Structure 1
Amino acid sequence: MHISLCLAEAFKIARNLRILAEIIPIWAKCNHPNIVPLIGEATVRGQVAAVYEWLTYGSVLDYLKRHPTADRHQLSAKICDGVAYLHANNIIHGNLKGSQVFVSDYGVPRIMLDCTGTHMVGKPRDIDEMTLTLRWAAPEILMETSGKTFQSDVYALGMETISLSTPYNGMSDYRVVSNVMRHIFPSRPMDTISDNEAGNVLWDLLTACWSQDPKERPSAADIGEVMNALGSSQPATQVHQRPRSSMGFAPNTVIEDLVAFFVNNNLTDYTEELKRSDMKIQLSKPYLATAAALLFKIDLPIKGDHRNTIHIQKVVVKRVMNESPYKQLKRATRELYFWSGYKHDNILPLLGFAVLDGNLAMISPWIENGSVTEYVRKQQKPDYHDLCTQLSCAICYLHGHGLIHGDIKGDNVLVSDEGIVKVTDFGVSIAAQLQIEFTFTAVGRGTERWQVR
């Protein structure tokens, strides 16, 4: 799997190498999909540096500016899960805020540890080494009556969750301190925390996070449980979906029309890339061949927004198979159409398409772990509850947008290196509204063992 690496620039603020030497072992023990993974150590100009995976969005605030319709409930729930993981492993973050939460290409939030704040329970930082971020700081931190604790993390988590933006926005620092000391909460953002039952539950939870008495604040795990429950009950939110144009599919439809349709709907066409001689070699033999499809694993130059190559990525090229050329093209068009219209953390992203051997082929990231069935076999203690919750979120999202997947089973549920569930295979999906009008020639085409009788 292709990754980009960079030096841990956050550690430029470290007062001395001792602090960095202390944080790296803590970071190395962390293994959670919502924590930025540490790749390792490096020596740069004679000094130790931490190396971690490069993430597209340098903060959750940057991500929301680029994708304003992203599901804030789900983002907040995942941030809570990351903090709960740290606390379960006796790690205090110490400086939680929006700029410490990065976001991956697939919209997964990942918390960056903080070299001046993060520490193990019982091994606090010296007061002069700690970074104080005023708008996320608990009252006891401002008054210097306590060091960083799980409870001060929860206070900051509440401030971050309120709207995934800067708390007390527009106020001077002096007024912020005054409000915190007088126990005046930030204004409730009605656009993101509505005046309904779910919104009131969330607001009550956040105000509990800001209790003046640290002992009265809920745990990060409790907050995560409520946020996940609220997220699954909310109407699904489109991540960054654009309106799509319409066309009809008929026996006289030619592949050039379909290519133009999908390109017009912002799908990347990799046809020319697959014509290269090195690609033809990789496409000479599928790694998996079934009656329904041929799957090829190749290294593909991925295009950016301006059609330039941004990196090489291992991908899967899927070519639908059928005895009838017309049905083969129609099935490929249906799956490509449905797959391209839905973007969610728990849906395998579609990178683009290509014309391969006269038919449409779909291109998606290669997932090393394979199916969820394979994944749980490899894990010593698989978290079945988390996997099922993620799968439920994907199905809830699809149903909220009027799509029935039609073939949910183990083989169609993949798990990424970060433990994120990715639903795939939309070949038999059914939607309430179509921009391509299909004629239906078959029913009950899902997998029999998983179908309701």
Structure 2
Amino acid sequence: FPSYPLINEFEVKRVQSKPSSSGGFGDCWEGVFLGQQRVAMKCLRGHGDEDSMKKKLDREVRVWKNLRHPHILQFIGLGILGSTTYMLSPWMDNGNVLEYLSKNTSEDRLRLLLHVALGIQYLHNFDPIVVHGDLKGSNIFVSSSGDAVIADFGLSEMILAGAEQSNSTTFYTAGSRRWQAPELIQAETKAQAQRTTASDIFAFGRVMAELYTLQVPFAEVQNEAELIKKITARELPRRPKDSSVVARGFDDHLWALIKDCCRYEPGRRPSANVVVARLQG
């Protein structure tokens, strides 16, 4: 990885005997960089060969290393300890936004949603355009200053006009169904399954409700086939109406924006610029 900042075992140390969290793509450890800065150390985990794991890591870092924004988790560099390569980023004391909101129930959710929307706006206006590809509550973190930042670029892509799709079929079929746009779920070819700015906006619509309810979309549906049936039948998750959600500021304005973001037709969804303007209004 000659083009990335390489950090050796004398500069970074793991401080835990087991990961602080584990996800579908890898494990995350707490570490210390240069003896003072707390960092998250993410390593990929998988059943593929070493070459395929290296490609996954390279794909994620290739996008992430270029991004600089207050609401995008910062990429520090690659740390190599023994035979394991870690992606380093600042440690987020408050955990992900769902963990943070479960402990800070009176927090201004609209402010956090605006932070996420500003991060998406930055990605979608980047040159070349960056599609995140896996927006959901557990991929949004809260900094020590209480700001929301978008993390996990494992399914992100830079969209280059006229470029061939070089990623594997597995890459395009991965993702989190409850937040996925219907066109991705129904896709039959790699071209149809390519994530877009519009599919990011759809996922953001799901995230908006998730931050107010602290429940995943269609939480009452456990069966994947039934879930897919609901999404492809153009069903929206039920509007949350319980008093606690309303007390947090969930109103007609937010519900209208959620419905617009989650429109079935990708071309009818608002752009990130419009979403930011509506949240600020």
**Deviations 1:293-320 (CA, angstroms, capped at 9, x unpaired):** xxxxxxxxxxxxxxxxxxxxxxxxxxxx
Alignment match, 2:63: 26
Aligned residue type for 1:169:
A
Q: Which has the higher contact order (CA 8 A, sep 6+)?
A: 2
CA drift at 1:58: 2.7
Alignment match, 1:200: 252
SS in 2 for 1:29: coil
The reply on whether 1:12 has 2:45 as its aligned counterpart is: yes
The reply on whether 1:151 has 2:198 as its aligned counterpart is: yes
SS in 2 for 1:52: strand
Alignment of 1:165-244 (within 5 A): 165=214, 166-172=216-222, 173-190=224-241, 191=243, 194=246, 199-229=251-281
Alignment match, 1:120: 158
Q: Which moved more, 1:13-22 or 1:220-229?
A: 13-22
Aligned residue type for 2:184:
I
CA drift at 1:44: 2.6
CA drift at 1:198: 8.5
Aligned residue type for 2:199:
S
**Deviations 1:227-269 (CA, angstroms, capped at 9, x unpaired):** 122xxxxxxxxxxxxxxxxxxxxxxxxxxxxxxxxxxxxxxxx
SS in 2 for 1:8: strand
CA drift at 1:193: 6.8
Taking the aligned partners of 2:82 and 2:136, their CA distance within structure 1 comes to 30
Alignment match, 1:58: 95
SS in 1 for 2:280: helix
Aligned residue type for 1:163:
E
Alignment match, 1:72: 109
SS in 2 for 1:110: strand
**Deviations 1:88-132 (CA, angstroms, capped at 9, x unpaired):** 1111101111111011122211111321x1110036532212422
The reply on whether 1:129 has 2:129 as its aligned counterpart is: no
Aligned residue type for 1:161:
M
Taking the aligned partners of 1:22 and 1:184, their CA distance within structure 2 comes to 34
CA drift at 1:74: 0.7
- TM, length-normalised to structure 1: 0.47
SS in 1 for 2:94: coil
CA drift at 1:134: 0.8
Tell me which structure has the larger Cα radius of gyration. 1
SS in 1 for 2:58: helix
Taking the aligned partners of 2:89 and 2:209, their CA distance within structure 1 comes to 28
CA drift at 1:22: 2.6
- TM, length-normalised to structure 2: 0.74
Alignment of 1:270-419 (within 5 A): none
> CA 1:79–1:192 in structure 2 vs 1: closer, same or farther (change >3 Å)?
farther
Alignment of 1:250-265 (within 5 A): none
Equivalent pair of 2:63/2:153 in contact (CA under 8 Å): no
Alignment match, 1:138: 181
Aligned residue type for 1:133:
S
SS in 2 for 1:95: coil
SS in 2 for 1:41: strand
Equivalent pair of 1:78/1:224 in contact (CA under 8 Å): no
Taking the aligned partners of 1:28 and 1:192, their CA distance within structure 2 comes to 40
Equivalent pair of 2:206/2:217 in contact (CA under 8 Å): yes
**Deviations 1:384-432 (CA, angstroms, capped at 9, x unpaired):** xxxxxxxxxxxxxxxxxxxxxxxxxxxxxxxxxxxxxxxxxxxxxxxxx
Unaligned ranges ≥5, structure 2: 1-35
The reply on whether 1:108 has 2:147 as its aligned counterpart is: yes
Aligned residue type for 1:142:
I
Unaligned ranges ≥5, structure 1: 230-453
CA drift at 1:163: 3.4
SS in 1 for 2:88: strand
CA drift at 1:141: 0.7
Alignment match, 1:37: 74
Aligned residue type for 2:136:
K
CA drift at 1:20: 1.3
Taking the aligned partners of 1:137 and 1:35, their CA distance within structure 2 comes to 21
CA drift at 1:51: 0.8
**Deviations 1:319-366 (CA, angstroms, capped at 9, x unpaired):** xxxxxxxxxxxxxxxxxxxxxxxxxxxxxxxxxxxxxxxxxxxxxxxx
Identity %: 25
> CA 1:215–1:171 in structure 2 vs 1: closer, same or farther (change >3 Å)?
same
Equivalent pair of 1:95/1:118 in contact (CA under 8 Å): yes
SS in 1 for 2:77: strand
**Deviations 1:176-195 (CA, angstroms, capped at 9, x unpaired):** 21211111111112347759
CA drift at 1:23: 2.2
SS in 1 for 2:80: strand
